[in-house]
Structure 1
Amino acid sequence: MRAAAICLGIALAASCPASAQDVPADLTVMPPVPTDFAPPRTSWGDPDFRGHFPIDIIARIPFERLPEHGDRFWLTQEEYAAQQTNGDTADARYEADTQAGTLGYRSFITAEASGRRTSLLVSPADGKLPPLTAEARASYEAGRSSWTDGVDFDWVSDFDTFDRCVTRGFPATMFPHRYNNGLRIMQAPGRIVIMTEMVHEARVIPIVSRDDAEAMRWPADVRTWMGQSIGWWDGDTLVVETTNIKTGDSVSDDHIARGPSPLNLATHGREPWNILPTSEDARVTERITMTGPDSLVYEVTYTDPQVFTAPWTARLDWTRDENYEIFEYACHEGNVQIRNYITASRAERAAAGGGDR
């Protein structure tokens, strides 16, 4: 197995829009995605998903469930009320922004049923990622990235693809990060495009029949950071399957030997999953369902038997906001981080009498 990038930058606490799904009485139950909404149609007859979908509103949901939430998919009313209080406290520190008409923290957690989910993961039911295989665990522990404490940096091959402004990888790019969490969906006959604000990666997905999808697959040795995505309609739900995800890093063989680029799954749950590997067998299945005039439910199932001992599934709720704008994402320009890490590490080694590696 060669290691690779999927930088899932995920933070901390919210849930799904009330228009998409109500919180059940039994907080240990995750209801199925509603399918009773009839979406508007494009001029060529497909469900019309077009628009801007900023997912900051779910960027504070833990990726993995915290121990104190036990087997619950949902927060209690008391826990939710505490979040709202915390939101009020945070907003008080940004009163000038509020007066200027911008949204504060509390607005994000109360605008929808959004503070009520305990994790993005919905399977396994315990809200935890499945255990890593022994080989994946070794690769994870050998990984090098600015997200990893104690790494001695000497050259660009000591950094992951996100550090170097190359990519967050897939499916990481579909998950919220600390900032730049806008998504834009565009459609044309036979195509759907999902563009991300972070790194400005555009997934151009052909829409075919399910029977034709596998015949269109690239040869196994043709790979990209985002993989090859092919979609089809299952009723009004868009299904996208992605294979041929790049494994390893093109910078140097030496870097591959050192460890993976990151699947930066920065959760504050059980473990700081900063640099999870990817193998040639990775396969991602996404299901996107419109559940209201401005709401979509996004489900993603990740299968990689060389890395995880079982598949896992996350569910995210997207809300359309046409006032949201995606501006230029400039990362390479003025990116002094890589040089600073290297020069600082070299200076520390010189001071300790170690010199360069």
Structure 2
Amino acid sequence: MQTAGFRRLTLALGTTLGAALALAPLSAPFAAPAAGAYVAPLAADGHPDLSGYWSNATLTPMVRDPKLGDRLAYTPAEAKALESDEAHQVEVGNKRTDPDAPVNAPNGLELKPSFLAAGGDVGGYNRGWLDPGHTVMRVGGEPRTSLITTRDGRVPPRKTAAAVSAGYGTEGGEGSHAPLGSFDNPENRPLSERCIMFGGNVGPPMIPNGFYNNDYNIVQTRDAVAIQVEMVHDTRIVRLNAKHRADDVRPWFGDSIGWWDGDTLVVETNHIPQKQAFQGAWKDLTITERFTRTAKDRLRYSFTISAPSSWDKPWGGEYEFAPLHGVIYEYACNEGNYALPGILAGARAAEKARADKAATGAEQ
């Protein structure tokens, strides 16, 4: 989304494929392109210029469809079919809504899981307000079936003895006792409901959310790199040529330090807070990201996940940012956040109803 009005949207809580393409298994992200393939312009600090407005919006999911097995890439025909179908979805979704149509009337649109998570087209707002991306992700020109680059394109199984962080999957936090978490107070609700952050976008790792606002602004200096994220206007600061903090304080987005490895910016993050656990890991989680300018209009991004208590070995993924043809406007989340007070008010009403019912039963 690139208009100011879109910034005021609040996240509420929310082709048949052809013959298989034989590919060698991949257990880790690809290496950066060979030196000399593309000479990036230099920033004031003398390193390749990564700055500017970028987008990682894409039709390619983070996790591969199991039906695709070990296939890293689509065929050109498959990618074209997916993109044509998306164009059709946009065309249908942008048609005028019949005000007399019944609630949730069939409209011919594909209800993707990411759309449902955003409340889109089924109560939140219709398809015209969503911008998940319109193209399959290309890496080195290859149309990818997933952003994760493990052999099957999926998150590796966790160790059976690994403890899942409190609140993982529900974001209920300590004391969470129900699938939707605790409704006792605002601090027990998910970070997205509270307009604090949408963890997937800001990262690390930085993962497109599948519905909108997958846009970034990178500002590069000699001493730091700032990554501004459109979703909830978060900004992650990477301190260059620095050391990790020695205490156990865990700031939002963790503690990120960076250095240049030739033409690639390497960013290492640890000290991830429990509320920002990635796939359940946080305490011993280290995420290593690599940013390489591979073309005038491409910025290669890869990430490696390491958490010895959760996985036997590191794993990761990669994709390429494309230019954002516009700028990032303010994301005014709190000003339009009617969801949180409504959710808490609903919980209080439910509590009162239970109390009233109990009192009536006692009187009888």
State TM-score, norm by structure 2.
0.69
Q: CA deviation at 1:121?
A: 0.4
Which residue pairs with 2:172 in the alignment? 144
1:77-88 map, 5 Å = 77-88=76-87
Task: Tell me, in whole angstroms, the C-alpha distance in 1 between the residues paired with 2:315 and 2:69.
Answer: 18
- Note closer, same or farther for the CA distance 1:262–1:187 as it changes in structure 2 (3 Å cut): closer
Instruction: Output the aligned Cα RMSD.
Output: 3.5
Task: Give yes or no for the alignment of 1:187 onto 2:228.
Answer: no
Which residue pairs with 1:221 in the alignment? 248
2:234 maps to amino acid: E
Task: Give yes or no for the alignment of 1:108 onto 2:138.
Answer: no
Task: Tell me, in whole angstroms, the C-alpha distance in 2 between the residues paired with 1:86 and 1:37.
Answer: 33
Q: Is contact 2:289–2:301 with CA below 8 Å preserved after alignment?
A: yes
Q: Is contact 1:88–1:105 with CA below 8 Å preserved after alignment?
A: no
Task: Tell me, in whole angstroms, the C-alpha distance in 2 between the residues paired with 1:74 and 1:172.
Answer: 24
Task: Tell me, in whole angstroms, the C-alpha distance in 1 between the residues paired with 2:223 and 2:292.
Answer: 18
Which residue pairs with 1:272 in the alignment? none
Q: Is contact 1:62–1:119 with CA below 8 Å preserved after alignment?
A: yes
Task: Give yes or no for the alignment of 1:74 onto 2:73.
Answer: yes
- Note closer, same or farther for the CA distance 1:336–1:262 as it changes in structure 2 (3 Å cut): farther
Q: CA deviation at 1:307?
A: 3.4
Count of residues in Structure 1 that have an aligned counterpart in Structure 2: 294
1:293 to 291, 296, 299: 296
1:132 to 155, 158, 161: 158
Q: CA deviation at 1:42?
A: 1.8
Task: Tell me, in whole angstroms, the C-alpha distance in 2 between the residues paired with 1:136 and 1:89.
Answer: 44
Which residue pairs with 1:318 in the alignment? 321
1:171 to 203, 218, 228: 203
Q: CA deviation at 1:198?
A: 1.3
Q: Helix, strand or coil: the match of 1:284? A: strand
Q: Is contact 1:65–1:119 with CA below 8 Å preserved after alignment?
A: yes
2:163 maps to amino acid: A
- Kindly indicate whether structure 1 or structure 2 has the higher relative contact order, using CA contacts under 8 Å at least 6 residues apart: 1
Task: Tell me, in whole angstroms, the C-alpha distance in 2 between the residues paired with 1:107 and 1:152.
Answer: 34
Report Cα offsets for 1:101-151 as digits up to 9, x if no partner: x9x9898327967893111101x32211122344434743675289x8554
Q: Which moved more, 1:87-96 or 1:124-133?
A: 87-96
Which protein is bigger by CA-based radius of gyration?
2
Task: Tell me, in whole angstroms, the C-alpha distance in 2 between the residues paired with 1:130 and 1:161.
Answer: 26
Task: Tell me, in whole angstroms, the C-alpha distance in 2 between the residues paired with 1:203 and 1:106.
Answer: 22
- Note closer, same or farther for the CA distance 1:354–1:181 as it changes in structure 2 (3 Å cut): farther
Q: Helix, strand or coil: the match of 1:346? A: helix
Q: Helix, strand or coil: the match of 2:291? A: strand
Task: Tell me, in whole angstroms, the C-alpha distance in 2 between the residues paired with 1:204 and 1:338.
Answer: 28
- Note closer, same or farther for the CA distance 1:105–1:154 as it changes in structure 2 (3 Å cut): closer
Which residue pairs with 2:283 in the alignment? 280
1:1-357 map, 5 Å = 26-28=22-24, 32-35=31-34, 36-56=37-57, 58=58, 60-93=59-92, 108-109=134-135, 116-122=143-149, 124-133=150-159, 134-137=161-164, 139=166, 140=168, 143-144=171-172, 149-151=179-181, 153-169=183-199, 171-172=203-204, 174-177=206-209, 178-208=211-241, 213=242, 216-247=243-274, 261=275, 263=277, 276-321=279-324, 323-353=325-355
Q: CA deviation at 1:333?
A: 1.7
- Note closer, same or farther for the CA distance 1:111–1:199 as it changes in structure 2 (3 Å cut): closer
Q: CA deviation at 1:189?
A: 2.2
Task: Tell me, in whole angstroms, the C-alpha distance in 2 between the residues paired with 1:342 and 1:282.
Answer: 33
- Note closer, same or farther for the CA distance 1:354–1:157 as it changes in structure 2 (3 Å cut): farther
Q: Which runs of 5+ in 2 are unaligned?
A: 1-13, 15-20, 97-127, 359-364
- Note closer, same or farther for the CA distance 1:150–1:355 as it changes in structure 2 (3 Å cut): farther
Task: Tell me, in whole angstroms, the C-alpha distance in 1 between the residues paired with 2:240 and 2:46.
Answer: 13
- Note closer, same or farther for the CA distance 1:166–1:94 as it changes in structure 2 (3 Å cut): closer
Q: Helix, strand or coil: the match of 1:305? A: coil
Percent identical across equivalent pairs?
Answer: 31
Q: Which runs of 5+ in 1 are unaligned?
A: 1-10, 12-24, 248-260, 265-275
Q: CA deviation at 1:303?
A: 1.4
2:317 maps to amino acid: A
State TM-score, norm by structure 1.
0.71
Q: Is contact 1:180–1:197 with CA below 8 Å preserved after alignment?
A: yes
Q: Helix, strand or coil: the match of 1:93? A: helix
Task: Tell me, in whole angstroms, the C-alpha distance in 2 between the residues paired with 1:46 and 1:138.
Answer: 39
Report Cα offsets for 1:160-217 as digits up to 9, x if no partner: 2222111234625722122221111111223222111112222222322xxxx4xx22
1:128 maps to amino acid: R
- Note closer, same or farther for the CA distance 1:110–1:302 as it changes in structure 2 (3 Å cut): closer
